[in-house]
Copies of this chain bind each other. A is one copy, B any other.
Amino acid sequence: MYTCTFDRREGWLTSKRKQVAELAGVSEATVSRVMSGVGPIREETKRRVLEAADRLGYTPSAIARSFVTQRSGNVGVMLPVVPKVHLFSAYYFSEILSGIGHAVEKRGYHLLLQFRQADAAPDYESAFRMRKVDGCLILGAKSDVSEARALRTLHEQGWPFCVVGQRFDEPYDQVDADHREGGRLVAEHLLDSGRKRIALVNGPASFSNSVDRRDGFVDRLRSGGVKFDESLEFTGNYSRKSGYALAETLYERRGEFDAVFAANDRMAIGLMQGLKERGLRAGADYALVGYDDSDASRTTDPPLSTVHVPFFEMGVRAAERLLDGIAGDTEEAGPSAQRLETRFVTRESSRLS
Contacts and interface: CB of A to CB of B under 8 A. Distances in A.
Interface of A: 1-7, 13-15, 37, 59, 61-64, 66-67, 72-74, 79, 81, 86-89, 91, 93-95, 97-99, 101, 105, 110-115, 126-127, 129-132, 269, 273, 295-296, 299-302, 312
Contacts of A74: 112, 132
Given A1-B13, A113-B113, A295-B296, A98 B86 contact: yes
Contact of A112 (B5, B81, B112, B130): B112
A-B complex: 6 closest residue pairs judged by Cβ atoms: A301-B301, A62-B130, A88-B94, A61-B131, A86-B98, A111-B113
Contacts of A127: 110
18 contacts: A2-B6, A4-B5, A4-B6, A37-B130, A61-B129, A62-B130, A62-B132, A63-B66, A86-B95, A86-B99, A88-B88, A88-B94, A101-B113, A110-B113, A111-B112, A111-B113, A296-B296, A300-B301
Given A3-B3, A88-B97, A94-B88, A110 B132 contact: yes
Nearest to A2: B5
Given A2-B5, A89-B295, A296-B295, A81 B62 contact: no
A169 B329 CA distance: 49
A323 to B, nearest CB: 15
A97 B86 CA distance: 9
A302 B300 CA distance: 9
A61 B132 CA distance: 8
Contacts of A2: 5-7, 13-15
A157 to B, nearest CB: 9
A62 to B, nearest CB: 3
A78 to B, nearest CB: 11
A87 B98 CA distance: 6
A130 B129 CA distance: 20
**Chain B CB within 10 A, most for which of A62, A91, A101, A130:** A130
A95 B101 contact: no
